[in-house]
């Protein structure tokens, strides 16, 4: 794993699941060149700008957090280009990157990727059945997200587990339209992240583009879904996240997934609230 970077806030006993707290742009700068096999990034979509949406049948303002506010088209593009450049540097020559987004950010992300020299491989459409209704009735109901898949460069000989994807699609070539349900309640046992991705989506991505033992990086790790998919399939994981409460959620998900027990290695500080009926876990994160 990456050793030269500052201390992670959490590292699994087997050293295959590490979480760093802070700004991805700053932390990525310390990661060594060519050290990562695959990146999955679910960056800010910059859509928390006063719009209205429907949640659980109620009219609510779109507010995922301060990190999701747009600073304008140019500034948003500079941000996307900056982290994408760092990710390209840390990718191995044959490595690939997946980036999810919507109309709010995906064109900016795609343009930045083209400018940086990535080779775009696929634009996956993730179709969400039963999306929330469109309340103003002036647009089509938003029912999809786009996930761009790209190799580090035109020269990359990227890995694609074609046979497994075909098998998973009952013997037919898998298409770029993926119908996957939003995260189930069982994926939110330890708390809620406002933009949590379904584990099924990340498992497909991990299995399609990595091999056991590969290093997977998620610079906007959130509740750690990418890490859970990586752990489930024997890949090593590095996650970066700004918010301590989401890092803690990730640790709880990881411990539950792997049945790892809390040991003296793991620091025991104030624990966050957990869903009722669950065995309480100590909060494992201490800012070092």
Ligand X SMILES: C[S@@+](CC[C@H](N)C(=O)[O-])C[C@H]1O[C@@H](n2cnc3c(N)ncnc32)[C@H](O)[C@@H]1O
Closest to ligand X by CB, 97 vs 156, is: 97
Q: How far is CA 227 from the centre of its chain?
A: 8
SS3 22: coil
Does residue 134 contact residue 141 with C-beta atoms inside 8 Å? Answer: yes
* Residue whose structure tokens are 């859509």: 47
Among 11, 23, 189, 244, binds ligand X (CB under 6 A): 23
Is 286 an interacting residue with respect to ligand X (CB under 6 A)?
Answer: no
Q: Put the strands of the sheet holding 119-127 in their side by side order.
A: 10-11, 17-21, 236-241, 215-218, 36-41, 91-101, 144-151, 119-127, 177-179
Closest to ligand X by CB, 8 vs 44, is: 44
Among 70, 125, 161, 195, binds ligand X (CB under 6 A): 195
Size of the site for ligand X (CB under 6 A): 19
- Candidates 48-56, 107-115, 116-124, 190-198: pick the segment binding ligand X (CB under 6 A): 190-198
Among 16, 76, 241, 248, binds ligand X (CB under 6 A): 241
Closest to ligand X by CB, 5 vs 156, is: 5
Residue 128's nearest CA partner among 196, 178, 71 is 178
Q: How far is the CB of 90 from ligand X (least distance, A)?
A: 15
Residue 8's nearest CA partner among 217, 256, 226, 271 is 217
- Candidates 69-77, 120-128, 195-203, 263-271: pick the segment binding ligand X (CB under 6 A): 195-203
Residue 2's nearest CA partner among 216, 212, 154, 170 is 216
Name the burial class of residue 170, with classes exposed (0-12), middle (13-18) and buried (19+) by CB atoms within 10 angstroms of its CB. exposed
Closest to ligand X by CB, 107 vs 153, is: 107
Closest to ligand X by CB, 119 vs 233, is: 233
Is 12 an interacting residue with respect to ligand X (CB under 6 A)?
Answer: no
Does residue 182 contact residue 128 with C-beta atoms inside 8 Å? Answer: yes
Rounded-to-integer distance, Cα 126 and Cα 102, Å: 10
Among 12, 17, 105, 197, binds ligand X (CB under 6 A): 197
Q: How far is the CB of 64 from ligand X (least distance, A)?
A: 7
SS3 263: coil
Rounded-to-integer distance, Cα 17 and Cα 231, Å: 8
At 123, which helix (H) or strand (E)? strand 119-127
Among 10, 126, 220, 254, binds ligand X (CB under 6 A): 220
Is 266 an interacting residue with respect to ligand X (CB under 6 A)?
Answer: no
Backbone CA torsion sign across 173, 105, 93, 35: negative
Q: How far is the CB of 220 from ligand X (least distance, A)?
A: 3
Is 126 an interacting residue with respect to ligand X (CB under 6 A)?
Answer: no
Is 76 an interacting residue with respect to ligand X (CB under 6 A)?
Answer: no
Contacting positions for ligand X (CB under 6 A): 23-25, 42, 44, 67, 193, 195-197, 220, 222-223, 225, 240-243, 246
């Amino acid at each position: 794993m990456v050793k030269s970077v500052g201390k992670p806030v959490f590292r699994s006993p087997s050293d295959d699941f590490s979480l760093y707290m802070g700004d991805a742009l700053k932390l990525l700068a310390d990661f060594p060149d060519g050290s990562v096999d695959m990146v999955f990034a679910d960056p800010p979509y910059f859509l928390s700008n006063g719009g209205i949406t429907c949640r659980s049948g109620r009219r609510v303002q779109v507010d995922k957090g301060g990190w999701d506010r747009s600073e304008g088209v140019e500034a948003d593009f500079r941000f996307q280009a900056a982290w994408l450049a760092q990710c390209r540097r840390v990718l191995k020559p044959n490595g690939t990157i997946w980036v999810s987004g919507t109309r709010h950010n995906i064109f900016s992300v795609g343009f930045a990727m083209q400018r940086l020299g990535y080779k775009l491989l696929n634009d996956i459409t993730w179709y969400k059945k039963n999306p929330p209704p469109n309340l103003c009735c002036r647009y089509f109901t938003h029912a999809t997200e786009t996930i761009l898949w790209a190799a580090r460069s035109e020269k990359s000989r990227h890995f694609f587990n074609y046979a497994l994807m075909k098998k998973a699609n009952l013997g037919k070539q898998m298409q770029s339209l993926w119908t996957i349900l939003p995260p189930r309640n069982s994926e939110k046992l330890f708390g809620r992240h406002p933009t949590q991705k379904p584990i099924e989506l990340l498992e497909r991505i991990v299995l399609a583009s990595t091999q056991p033992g590969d290093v997977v990086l998620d610079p906007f790790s959130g509740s750690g879904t990418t890490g859970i998919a990586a752990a489930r399939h024997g890949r090593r994981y590095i996650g970066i996240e700004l918010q301590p409460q989401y890092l803690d959620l990730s640790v709880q998900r990881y411990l539950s997934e792997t049945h790892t027990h809390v040991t003296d290695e793991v620091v025991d500080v104030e624990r966050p609230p957990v869903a009722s009926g669950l065995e309480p876990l100590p909060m494992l994160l201490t800012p070092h």
